[in-house]
């Protein structure tokens, strides 16, 4: 392992992995190619995806809190797959902006966030 001012470089056998020295979410560094290892078990995948999204920013955690309260029976099967697909398509910064917008409008749900991200809703 080598620690540089802005990154940490891990060497294992013939592989080299670079992480930011200070993670974007302030908690941990998880590269996109490392996510699949968390999704081995169905329930584990569900909770890992939710946690990854919630850890993007405090506003994401607020969105999920509201979502779980409003849609306690359907957020797992309906909203989370939509939110995860939007995360993979648009990235963390855009999704976080969408979470903030939806919270401000009181529009809590995957379909509202999707509409905002594609420019249908303002």
Q: Where are the domains of the chain?
A: 1-30, 34-117
Tokens representing 95?
């999704």
Residue among 51, 48, 82 nearest 64 (CA): 51
pLDDT recorded at residue 121: 55
pLDDT confidence band for 9 (50 / 70 / 90): confident
pLDDT recorded at residue 28: 66
Q: What is the DSSP string of 19-80?
A: EESS-TTSS----GGGGGGGGSSHHHHHHHHHHHHHTT-HHHHHHHHHHHHH-TTTIIIIIH
Tokens representing 41?
């078990």
Mean pLDDT, residues 29-40: 65
**Tens of pLDDT along 45-104?**
888 899 889 988 999 999 999 999 999 999 999 999 999 999 999 999 999 999 999 999
Give the global pTM: 0.71
Tokens representing 104?
């401000």
pLDDT recorded at residue 14: 83
pLDDT confidence band for 35 (50 / 70 / 90): low
pLDDT recorded at residue 64: 95
């Amino acid at each position: 392992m080598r620690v540089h001012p802005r990154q940490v470089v891990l060497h294992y056998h013939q592989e080299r992995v670079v992480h930011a020295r200070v993670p974007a979410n302030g908690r941990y560094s998880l590269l996109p190619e490392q996510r699949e290892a968390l999704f081995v078990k169905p329930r584990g995948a569900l909770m890992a995806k939710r946690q990854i999204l919630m850890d993007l920013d405090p506003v994401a955690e607020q969105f999920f809190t509201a979502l779980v309260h409003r849609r306690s029976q359907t957020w797992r099967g309906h909203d989370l797959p939509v939110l995860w697909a939007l995360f993979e398509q648009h990235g963390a910064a855009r999704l976080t902006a969408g979470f903030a917008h939806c919270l401000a409008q009181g529009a809590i749900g995957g379909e509202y966030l999707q509409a905002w991200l594609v420019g249908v809703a303002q």
